[in-house]
Structures are given as C-alpha cells and as structure tokens.
Amino acid sequence: MKLAVHFGAGNIGRGFIGALFSQSGYHVTFVDIAEQVINQLNTEKRYQVKLATDQQETMTIDNVSGLNNLTQEQEVVEAIGKATYLTTAIGPNILPHIAPLMAKGIMERVRKTDEKLYVIACENQISATDLLKGYIFDHLDEETKEKLAGKVYFFNSAVDRIVPIQNNKGSLDVLVEAYYEWVVEANESIPHVEGMKIVSDLAPYIERKLFTVNTGHAVIAYLGYLGKKETIDQALGDEAILAQVRATLSETGAYLIHQYGLNPDEHQQYIDKIINRFKNAHLHDAVTRVGRSPIRKLGPNDRLVKPAVEAAKAGLSYSNLAKAIAAALHFDYQEDPEAVKLQEMIKEKGVPAVLQEVSGLEENNEITKEIVKQY
C-alpha cells in the first residue's frame, strides 16, 4: 500500500487532506504533537468524516495511524523514507519548526532510494510549499541538495474546505462542509489522489480563493466579533455585515478581474456561492476561529492587505478592505495569543507604526491613512 505522511492531524489534516489520501488507497501516517490524537489514531485505526448537511452523510476513513514528532523522530524519518506524498496542514507559522525533522527524513531517504517524493504544504498562505522548501533546505547537507533533482518535488497548492473547531472532545471524528477544492501546481503527472486538481499556474486559483473565501470570511469574523456575534452564520444574519462583505468582495473581485481577466459574471457567481457556504448553520463556525492569528492575517501577503495594496496599485477602490483591516485591529480576543500581542503593540506604538511593522504599510501611504480613519 502506498504511504502518505501528513504533518498536522487537526481539522484539515483529518477532515480533508488525510481523508482524500485514505479514499485514494493510501495508508496515512499523521504526524502531530497531540499525544492523545496520535494514541487514538493508533488504537482506533479509523474515524468518521461527517458532512455538515441536513442529511449528515458520514464516511469512514481507515488505514490511518499516528506518530508523535517530539518523541518518535526516528519513526517519522523512516516513514518519510517510504512515503509517496509528504504533506502538511499545520499552520504557516509552524512550518519552520517541523522543517528540521522533514529535512532529516529527506536526507536519509535520498541516500537509500530514487523513488519520487512529492512535498505539498496545504496552508492558507501563498507559496506555502516554497516557504517550507526554504526552511527544509536550511537543514539539508550539500550532498542531499545535489541529489534532490528528479527525486523530491515541491508543489504549491491551494486548499479550500471549511472545517470548524470540533465540538466532540475525545473523538477523532470531524465535521466538515461538503464542498472542497484542492488545487496543486505541477507541470508533470503525479500519482493520482482523489479530489486533487492539477494546474500549471496556481496564482489565479490561490489569489481567487484567498481574496474571496478568506477575505470574505475575515470580514465576517472581525465585524462579527465587534458586533458580539458568536458564529459566522449568525454574523451574516446581520444585514449590515452582509452588505459589508459584499462590498469588500466587490473590491477584491475588481482586482482579480483586472489581474487575471476573470469573467465578471462568473466571478459574481463564485462570490455568491461562497457567501452561501458561509451561511451553513450546521458548521457552528466561531468568529474567533475564523479571525484567529490576526497578526498573520494582517501580513503583507495575506487576505486583507495584499488585495488592498494591489487594488490601490491598479487605481481601484480599497476603502472597504481598509474598513476590514481596521476591524481586524480591534480583534482583542483574549484567548488568541496574536490578538493579545496585537493589542499590546497598538497600545505601545499606535496604529500607523503597527501597520508598518505587521503589514509593511508606510505611515504616509494612502491605505494607511484610510485604515486609521476607519479605525
């Protein structure tokens, strides 16, 4: 049986990427630091993926096991040695921390086999696999670097499926939305995985997804948080928030249409479909999950700042994006370490300095001025 080694046995790992590998005939070895999840994977050997629909269809995901990357390093290295795919869904900030072990696995592997290995980071981040590759390369010896060509491939990807925080402590089962899209940029044929779509240029896909699904979601999350809404669907029930989401997605849409020559009617349909996905009340998706890690989300290449900067460059409107950024700066959820840090930074340095440091926006930039006004 072919093997996929997947770092991150969380919501996307179990509910999306691992599930697709299992359904494609792979054994999936999940690697995680969550000891209880790893133990359960090894004892139960299966779990259910439940669709957040009226019918609640369920699928059994089997041929799964787990390894703890803190206590089972050698086992992880051996698994990487046998894998066809090496994937992650762990959070972009964690990639540098798992790269040394991945590098160790790759070094041992290329000494022993010429079999091809495909590495794909499945994160909400543009070029996440390129970033991971850079972190891995920092830990590879020169001999391995020279041997990688034709043996280890790194492919960027875009992943889209809403998987909320699970409300079933102690269970491996995962509630997911029925919709999913996994797009991988590869210029050659790679081993088949059910549901994986191969494209030669990922840029339009990842930007369309990040600046529609993730921008729209972030607007709802931050305005919903300010409006004391608990979940995304509850926030969307507020007409003012719904109107603001539509206005913001018109701005990102204008940029995407301008940049990639998208058909405006088709893009509007894409926006409408996504807003309907957000309305799914079965997901109970907390605004605090969707707004999590605001410093990352306010990054220069992320879902709010990048489209605002690109819209400004193209002479397009960005005032609704500026409003969303201002709302993100008010996200003071105490259980989110980045939210706490962001509020401390704002208190200490003020909004313009924070926008410079976190988002790469100069103080005299027109976008900064608009954000400060909205804030």
Ligand X SMILES: NC(=O)C1=CN([C@@H]2O[C@H](COP(=O)(O)OP(=O)(O)OC[C@H]3O[C@@H](n4cnc5c(N)ncnc54)[C@H](O)[C@@H]3O)[C@@H](O)[C@H]2O)C=CC1
Ligand Y SMILES: O=P(O)(O)OC[C@H]1O[C@](O)(CO)[C@@H](O)[C@@H]1O
Residue 6 is assigned to a ligand binding site: yes
Q: What is the CA radius of gyration of the chain?
A: 21
Please identify, using beta-carbon distances, which residue of 29 and 293 lies nearer to ligand Y. Answer: 293
Binding at 321: pick from ligand X, ligand Y, none (beta carbon under 5-8 Å per type): none
Task: Pick one of ligand X, ligand Y, none as the site partner of residue 213 (Cβ within 5 to 8 A by kind).
Answer: ligand Y
Q: In whole angstroms, give the CA distance from residue 296 to residue 9.
A: 21
Are the C-beta atoms of residues 183 and 197 closer than 8 Å to each other?
Answer: yes
| Options 97, 145, 279, 313; binder of ligand X; rule CB under 6 A | 97
Contact at 8 Å (CB) between 69 and 101?
Answer: yes
Residue whose token pair is 């988002």? 359
Residue 2: Cβ-neighbour burial (10 angstroms; 0-12, 13-18, 19+): middle
Q: Answer for the pair 136, 106: CB distance below 8 angstroms, yes or no.
A: yes
**Distance in angstroms (rounded) separating the CA atoms of residues 269 and 286:** 25
The response to whether 14 counts as a known ligand-binding position is yes
CA distance 220 to 234: 10
Q: How far is the CB of 136 from ligand X (least distance, A)?
A: 15
CA dihedral 290, 164, 120, 65 (to 10 degrees): 150
- Contact region with ligand X (CB under 6 A), list: 57-65, 140-148, 156-164, 346-354: 156-164
Distance CA 342, CA 328 (A): 10
Q: Which of 5, 52, 76, 98 binds ligand X (CB under 6 A)?
A: 98
Q: Which residues neighbour 55 within 8 Å (Cβ) at sequence distance 6 or greater?
A: none
Task: Give the nearer residue to ligand X in terms of CB position, either 122 or 316.
Answer: 122
| Other beta carbons within 10 Å of 264 | 11
Is 253 assigned to a binding site?
no
What are the angstrom distances between the C-alpha of 225 and each of 229, 232, 236, 245, 295? 6, 9, 12, 14, 16
Residue 301 known to bind ligand: no
Under rule CB under 6 A, residue 162 binds ligand Y: yes
Q: Which stretch binds ligand Y (CB under 6 A): 168-176, 188-196, 287-295, 344-352?
A: 287-295
Task: Give the single-character DSSP code of 286.
Answer: B
Fill in the per-residue mask, 25 to 64: x = in contact with ligand X (CB under 6 A), - = not in contact.
Answer: -------xxx------------------------------
Among 68, 87, 88, 124, binds ligand Y (CB under 6 A): 124
The reply to whether 342 sits near ligand Y by the rule CB under 6 A is no
What is the total count of residues that contact ligand X (CB under 6 A)? Answer: 24
Stretch that binds ligand Y, among 134-142, 209-217, 247-255, 311-319 (CB under 6 A): 209-217
278 is in an annotated binding site: no
69 binds, among ligand Y, ligand X, none (CB under 5 to 8 A by kind): ligand X
Q: Which does 10 bind (CB under 5 to 8 A by kind): ligand Y, ligand X, none?
A: ligand X
**Segment contacting ligand X by CB under 6 A, of 45-53, 154-162, 246-254, 358-366:** 154-162
Please report how close the Cβ of residue 277 comes to ligand Y at its closest, in angstroms.
9
Single-letter residue type at 358: V
CA distance 107 to 148: 9
Contact 78, 111 (CB under 8 A): no
**Which range binds ligand Y by CB under 6 A, 20-28, 210-218, 254-262, 314-322?**
210-218
Kindly list the residues in this chain that would bind ligand Y in the complex (CB under 6 A): 124, 160, 162, 213-214, 217, 290, 292-293
Kindly list the residues in this chain that would bind ligand X in the complex (CB under 6 A): 7-13, 32-34, 69, 89-92, 94, 97-98, 123-124, 159, 161-163
